[in-house]
Structure 1
């Protein structure tokens, strides 16, 4: 997958850090930046005091929408100074609709990037992740603070478990994998089986990547009772990886997605650039 359109979603109360990171990413990859500035509406008042505070609630919403418009203009000016190819839109949405709005916009990107400012939020990052990964099924790149923005990593660790999700993540990251100097396919507590890992866990995916020209090795690690995500992250640090590639997991519950343990861990505390796909 060649990354020609990068989506960056920011909250209207955020600073410029994530936007600058996304612009750096687009400049390095010669990609177009698609920006979505979001405001999440406060829930309407309910109960005995609803009629008393409804005017204040309406005034708050109006102020939020005005601030959203102002913030969009500020970001538009920031992007214009850099001269990056970009488009920008803004949305003021109810909480329950945020995932759908993100998902609709994400269908027209090659990858969405989530910077450290958004990762530090307590609610919007999950709406964005849910919309990108599940509503649009597009890849999501998590970029923690203090790491350079790149779509050309030199050392990649792939968390592999022979699932459809991990296969999709590898396929979406294939251009990066092909261009890397060192690719490590890592399996945690792999079990041999006819239908999944095969008689030699990791051999099939390694052969597939080698045919694409990737410089790949397979590593099988014991968990020692630790979470697989923690093992993968520690190993990525130990080998000085530039990026971790993983499948994203979750299941439906009404209109929301509950992320699996590894996916939640990465969203809560990524320590290096992490590429998620489902």
Structure 2
């Protein structure tokens, strides 16, 4: 995981996103590229938002760009991270020119990166937008690293895998293999309730051990809590600092109607989540 794309936007979790991305970059001597995230003008106009006239203003666009770049570069300087060099043997950073990129643009540009780091979506104007997560998750073909509101001190020391037998989770695990093989502890958790047909938790753990990952199985018993709450509680008890979860096994429409473990984790998780679709 040598390349990390970081959409930079003015929200309350931006500092935690950068801290989380830096933890990942330090593990792999990775390159972090910042890009200014701004409103998609065409989408705003189509949705009849009153802001559409404002974002067309060149000065407003320049403010988005300048603020994002200054915030990003100040963080890198404070952490002694240098600019990208071809022979760099330590974490480095770069910035995508003077370009304001929309959510859809993040999904497109993210296809050439190993992972996209974003904040956990939340309600309110000062929170990361769910549309950014969905564009990165569904349009890039790459995994996303979702930072919680408050950054952790470590990343990938104790990893929990939410296993439900789905192809989405299998794909996410494949993307996460560099992290899994470096972890001190990898715990495969079952998700309570109905599950898809496929390999068991023990079979997954055995497969991971073949790759050198220290995998073991912990079963979550039936509880009065929801599956998502039980999973997050167990992860906290295990001291996990990263959760691996497939993204949206059901269609987004069915998620909206029935709810889901994924939606609950995105709303409540206080640890970083590594997710792919």
Instruction: Please report the TM-score for the alignment, with normalisation by the length of structure 2.
Output: 0.77
Partner of 1:211: 210
What's the CA shift string for 1:42-63, capped at 9, x where partnerless?
A: 734999xx9xx9xx96455314
The farther-off stretch of 8-17 and 231-240 is 8-17
Q: Can you give the 5+ residue segments of structure 2 that lack an aligned partner in the other structure?
A: 84-91
How far off is 1:67 after superposition?
0.9
- 1:88 match: 95
Count residues with an aligned counterpart. 257
Q: Give the drift of 1:183.
A: 1.4
Q: How does 1:21-36 map to 2 (within 5 A)?
A: 21=19, 22-36=21-35
Cα RMSD over matched residues? 3.4
Alignment of 1:10-49 (within 5 A): 10-12=8-10, 17-18=15-16, 20-21=18-19, 22-40=21-39, 43-44=44-45
- Alpha-carbon offset, residue 20 of structure 1: 4.2
8 A Cα contact 1:119 1:144, kept in partner: no
User: Residue 56 of structure 2 corresponds to which residue in structure 1?
Assistant: 61
CA distance in 2, matches of 1:187, 1:45: 42
Residue 103 of structure 1 is matched in structure 2 by 107
Q: Which has the larger radius of gyration?
A: 1
Post-superposition CA distance 1:161-183 (Å, at most 9, x none): 11101111111111211122221
The gaps in structure 1 that reach 5 residues or longer are: none
TM-fit CA distance, 1:232: 1.0
Q: Distance in 2 between matches of 1:20 and 1:252?
A: 28
The CA deviation string for residues 111-165 of structure 1, in whole angstroms up to 9 with x for no partner, is 111246x7676675312211221111211112224433655x2211111011101
User: What is the aligned partner in structure 2 of residue 135 from structure 1?
Assistant: 139
What SS class does the counterpart of residue 263 from structure 1 fall into? helix
Aligned match for 1:196, one of 190, 195, 198:
198
Counterparts of 1:130-209 in structure 2, within 5 Å, are 130-148=134-152, 150-151=154-155, 153-189=156-192, 195-197=197-199, 201-209=200-208
Q: TM-score if structure 1 supplies the norm length?
A: 0.77
